Amino acid sequence: MWESVARLADADTGRPGAIQGVQRIDVVYCQAWQYDDAPARLAERLGVHPRTLHYSGIGGNVPQSLVSSAARDIVAGDLDLALVVGGEALATTRRLKKEGRKPAWSHPPEKKRRFPFDTPFEPGEVAHSIFEAWLTFALFENAHRAHLGAGLDEYRHRLGELLSPLTAVAAANPHAWFPVPRTVEEVIGPTGQNRMVGYPYSKLMTAIMDVDMAAAVLVASDATADSLGVPADRRVYLRGWGYAEDPPALARRTDLWRSGAMEAASSAALRGAGAEVDDIAHFDLYSCFASSIGFALDALGIDPATARSAVPGTAPEQSVSVTGGLAYHGGPGSNYLTHALATMVEVLRSDPGSLGMVSGVGMHMHKHVFATYSTTPGILVPPDDAAVAARGTTAQTPIVDTFEGPATVATYSVIHGRDGEPEWAALICDLAPPPGNGAPKDRGSGTAEIGARCYARLTDPDALRQAESDELIGRLVNLTTDGNGTNTARL
């Protein structure tokens, strides 16, 4: 798959054979199979001899970060031509597993390597089973809803209005894994085929990694493209980018409803292009879950009511995806953004002179990259990464692992089993009581200062049902701690 898309990217230049001069190969981390040396094996298959071979870590930000790194080296005069490629065959590995078989693919490593998860969880996240992306992004989603003051049913309908048009884009995308248009109610309505996963997300509102997909892009200097004879109408220029990170621990982010890092990274990408957000004609905002889109729209200052992803050929005020997004186009591990880049290239070629923006989100809404592109070149000045990171730094809240006493729900999500029934809820709690209730006389076993937070679980069946009909954020709960370091909340 890697070889195939690399050769397609080569042919797409209009001058097949250009790839023979590639000096650097970046391969996006692959979850479907481990190789002994993936970039070297790919170079061998392609018959090329790059001086730099690199295999990436994980995260939805990775492909653009690799392109940005190559661009920085090109601007510095240290690189002329690079290849960024990635792919997954997770649908095939899943099928083989169901059949009781294992892949018998080439060049396995001598020893199985550990998954390169580079963001350790907080002890409280481990103790309260807060691991899955559909849960962590749902926690941010509900905080966003409470900040807006929207009702629960009203807000879920808004999410459906945001996501349903993505299904239409995927339906018109020949490369999409799920080319099926769906109505708002089909997207959000809990059914046997669309069970609730982590409130407010149903299955059709979550990214799907079990796909077989690959994509590649070539990155070159303009002078190199000239020397290779690449026609001008095949070229799309990187005009600006930005990268920043939010605190890895969820509860440490004082504002659970926004991303300071997104604001900084998107501003840098626009500033590099000499553009304002209204100048951007095409977007592909990372869409693993609706909260990543919502946070990006807020960071860019775009009204979600006007943000609609449209089928190619229509002209909405703002569109949020050119591919259909990770839930409907398919989200192949860390490589979705390479597909977004390849699609954006085609979109911009068909709309010469316009500007397009892509974004990527890594880990649990932690790592953020934005980039602007156009068929019209500009003077590319790499951003000051330290300055962008500093601008993205936001206030942080201390975390305690265990606490007993009163607390206030800062955000939550109800986790459902495969039968669709609610099983428990994950909570992030503020340890200061709401205004007017007064400080508790006994802070219990926790000794955290006012303003700290902790994680907790809610298991009462009646409370779980209530949490999906009435707003739980802002409610006072009482926390107790068991011998395993788990905080249990009671309304």
Q: Tens of pLDDT along the chain (491 residues)?
A: 999 999 999 999 999 999 999 999 999 999 999 999 999 999 999 999 999 999 999 999 999 999 999 999 999 999 999 999 999 999 999 999 999 999 999 999 999 888 888 877 789 999 999 999 999 999 999 999 999 999 999 999 999 999 999 999 999 999 999 999 999 999 999 898 999 999 999 999 999 999 999 999 999 999 999 999 999 999 999 999 999 999 999 999 999 999 999 999 999 999 999 999 999 999 999 999 999 999 999 999 998 776 654 444 444 445 799 999 999 999 999 999 999 999 999 999 999 999 999 999 999 999 999 999 999 999 999 999 999 999 998 889 999 999 999 999 999 999 999 999 999 999 999 997 545 544 433 333 344 455 899 999 999 999 999 999 999 999 999 999 998 899 999 99
Copy the structure tokens of residue 211: 């796909």
Residue 220 is which amino acid? A
Q: What pTM does this model have?
A: 0.94
The ranges of the chain annotated as CATH 2.40.50.840 are: 405-490
Copy the structure tokens of residue 61: 């930000």
Instruction: Enter the DSSP assignment of 19.
Output: G
**Helix, strand, or coil here: 262?**
helix
Strand pairing report for 405-416 and 355-362:
unpaired
Copy the structure tokens of residue 399: 């975390």
Residues 139 and 199: beta-carbon distance below 8 Å? no
Residue 105: what pLDDT? 95
**Which is nearest to 407 in space by CA: 425, 426, 431?**
431
Copy the structure tokens of residue 465: 């049902």
**Helix, strand, or coil here: 216?**
strand
Sole residue written with tokens 């769906």: 182
> CA–CA separation, 151 vs 203, rounded Å?
21
> CA–CA separation, 475 vs 478, rounded Å?
10
- Residue 166: Cβ within 10 Å count: 29
Packing angle between helix 336-349 and helix 62-75, nearest 10 degrees? 60
> CA–CA separation, 343 vs 358, rounded Å?
10
Copy the structure tokens of residue 204: 């059709």
Chain-centroid distance, C-alpha 76: 29
Full 3-state SS string of 265-293: HHHHHHHHHCCCHHHEEEEECCCCCHHHH
The dotted CATH code for 2-92+209-392 is: 3.40.47.10
**Which is nearest to 328 in space by CA: 196, 209, 176?**
176
> CA–CA separation, 359 vs 340, rounded Å?
9
- Strand arrangement of the beta sheet that strand 212-220 belongs to: 52-55, 24-27, 81-89, 212-220
Task: Please tell me the class of the 405-490 domain.
Answer: mainly beta
Residues 205 and 188: beta-carbon distance below 8 Å? yes
Residues 242 and 61: beta-carbon distance below 8 Å? no
E strand map for 310-386: 355-362, 367-374
Exposed, middle or buried: residue 409 (CB in 10 Å: 0-12, 13-18, 19+)? buried
The ranges of the chain annotated as CATH 3.40.47.10 are: 2-92+209-392
